[in-house]
Chain A
């Protein structure tokens, strides 16, 4: 099965938020009214019932005023921190096509995945005590449809397809942008997490923080230490402790009462 991906060409995003609406509609989620913040930021943040956010940033880059609109959702990492952290078998599954999907029947609501995710994506619902995030419309993709956000995007900012094809397309778009005078244009695809299945074309690829994207995302080191060396240390202590006790019992056995002068 080939790995699917989504390409977000931020240079073409007009911030219309049609993708936010399409996501809510397809996933049958209620609309929660935000508060007006005097900017083009409509919704404040991702939420258990809101999986696709357009981040609006007003910045100055190279002396030029920039309005950056960035679609934000689960990145469907190849080396996914959420899966690494999750203790409950089957609560997070990585499909053959690369989609990272939550299976809420198996989720115990511990929130470990939130801490493991380098992109701060999963959200815990206080009501259901389960986590939620973008599924890359795994239900639509399974029957040959493209994700709802992609279907609805009016500007071709979003493209869906095989990851290999989209990598090629992304590199081409970045080159076009460089030819147009955006010398810093490039592709953002998370090599630190084995590559993400959501690819970005950024005009200022060297400064992803300006877009609200983490610079050089990797699985947090405390999470790697916890799931790696600490597991070995712990298992050595547990098994070693029990074996030592067993050895001691066989060799020395219980203490006899003794009498001192």
Chain B
């Protein structure tokens, strides 16, 4: 049998799923307010009055746990020269043609981009979310900006999440297992994150 390699530690997995849970609620309850066509999500997320009260709480927990995740991963997410070449070759990667696609470290350049997209949109969501949370005590200019920037950041973030969920559940078989159980096979590591795999086996 193939040997197992640890990919995500228990604390890493716990933070990821806590972030995901809060995000899911914030996104669904936020979408209820996004347009009348999505209002059917209001009863699903607790009813209008409750979702107005809970959405910012879920959002705030999301932001705090994401900050923990950020501290843990930021150093590993730096974009290097290989990553830039990976991004240039990403259309080929998407079509499963790996010629000219550089080997990836623990995270590939796509995952790194997602990390930075989610981290930066979370900063905007948090700052503007606080303003929308307490409209009575916020200056009008801040409210006018937030009413536009909060959903704008949410669109950017959710656009990234659609790609993220599709990639990890369907395209890259085994990725979901890595985040639920924490380990992958050696073959998987060598195939998807060759540079990382070599670093592991060199140790």
| Chain A residues at the B interface, C-beta cutoff of 8 Å | 85, 87-89, 106, 108-112, 114-115, 120, 124, 126, 129, 220, 222-223, 225-226, 230-231, 233-235, 237-238, 241-242, 245, 248-249, 252, 254-260
Known: A110-B33, A110-B52. A259 touches B144 (CB 8 A): no
B187 touches A220 (CB 8 A): no
B162 touches A245 (CB 8 A): yes
B36 touches A238 (CB 8 A): no
Q: B188 contacts which chain A residues (CB < 8 A)?
A: 257
| Cα(A3)–Cα(B33), bound, Å | 31
- Contact partner of A230 among B103, B152, B190, CB < 8 A? B152
Known: A115-B135, A252-B96. A222 touches B148 (CB 8 A): yes
**Would you give 6 A-B contacts (Cβ < 8 Å), ordered by A?**
A88-B39, A115-B143, A124-B135, A220-B144, A237-B155, A249-B166
B148 touches A230 (CB 8 A): yes
Known: A110-B52, A115-B140. A258 touches B155 (CB 8 A): no
B36 touches A255 (CB 8 A): no
| Cα(A222)–Cα(B36), bound, Å | 19
Tell me the minimal C-beta distance from B87 to chain A in angstroms: 17
Q: B147 contacts which chain A residues (CB < 8 A)?
A: 85, 112, 115, 222-223, 226
| Cα(A258)–Cα(B39), bound, Å | 45
- Contact partner of B162 among A89, A129, A241, CB < 8 A? A241
B34 touches A254 (CB 8 A): no
A225 touches B48 (CB 8 A): no
B152 touches A248 (CB 8 A): no
Q: B94 contacts which chain A residues (CB < 8 A)?
A: 248, 252
**8 A Cβ contacts from B74-108 to A:** 94-96, 98, 103
Report B32-67 CB contacts with A as 1/0, cut-off 8 Å. Answer: 111110010010000011011100000000000000
* Minimum CB distance partner of B145 in chain A: A222
**8 A Cβ contacts from B147-198 to A:** 147-148, 151-152, 154-156, 158-159, 162-163, 166, 170-173, 187-188, 190-192, 194
- Contact partner of A234 among B33, B103, B151, CB < 8 A? B151
Indicate whether B202 reaches chain A with its CB closer than 8 angstroms: no
Known: A110-B33, A230-B148, A238-B158. A255 touches B143 (CB 8 A): no
Q: Which of A114, A234, A259 has the most CB of B within 10 A?
A: A234
- Contact partner of B49 among A109, A223, A230, A249, CB < 8 A? A109
Seed contacts A89-B39, A124-B136, A259-B190; 5 additional CB < 8 Å A-B pairs = A89-B36, A106-B48, A115-B147, A226-B148, A234-B155
10 A-B pairs with least C-beta separation: A111-B135, A108-B48, A241-B162, A87-B33, A245-B166, A257-B191, A234-B155, A222-B148, A237-B159, A108-B52
Tell me the minimal C-beta distance from B103 to chain A in angstroms: 7
Q: A124 contacts which chain B residues (CB < 8 A)?
A: 135-136
| Cα(A163)–Cα(B131), bound, Å | 38
A254 touches B173 (CB 8 A): yes
Q: B98 contacts which chain A residues (CB < 8 A)?
A: 258, 260
| Cα(A109)–Cα(B39), bound, Å | 15
B163 touches A241 (CB 8 A): yes
B48 touches A88 (CB 8 A): yes
A115 touches B49 (CB 8 A): no
| Cα(A260)–Cα(B143), bound, Å | 54
Tell me the minimal C-beta distance from B195 to chain A in angstroms: 11
A254 touches B52 (CB 8 A): no
| Cα(A260)–Cα(B189), bound, Å | 11
B170 touches A254 (CB 8 A): yes
* Minimum CB distance partner of B49 in chain A: A108
Tell me the minimal C-beta distance from B136 to chain A in angstroms: 5
Report B120-132 CB contacts with A as 1/0, cut-off 8 Å. Answer: 0000000000001
| Cα(A88)–Cα(B52), bound, Å | 11
A114 touches B33 (CB 8 A): no
* Minimum CB distance partner of A249 in chain B: B170
* Minimum CB distance partner of B160 in chain A: A241
| Cα(A112)–Cα(B151), bound, Å | 13
* Minimum CB distance partner of A108 in chain B: B48
Q: Which of A85, A87, A223 has the most CB of B within 10 A?
A: A87
Tell me the minimal C-beta distance from B124 to chain A in angstroms: 14
B162 touches A242 (CB 8 A): yes
Q: A235 contacts which chain B residues (CB < 8 A)?
A: 35
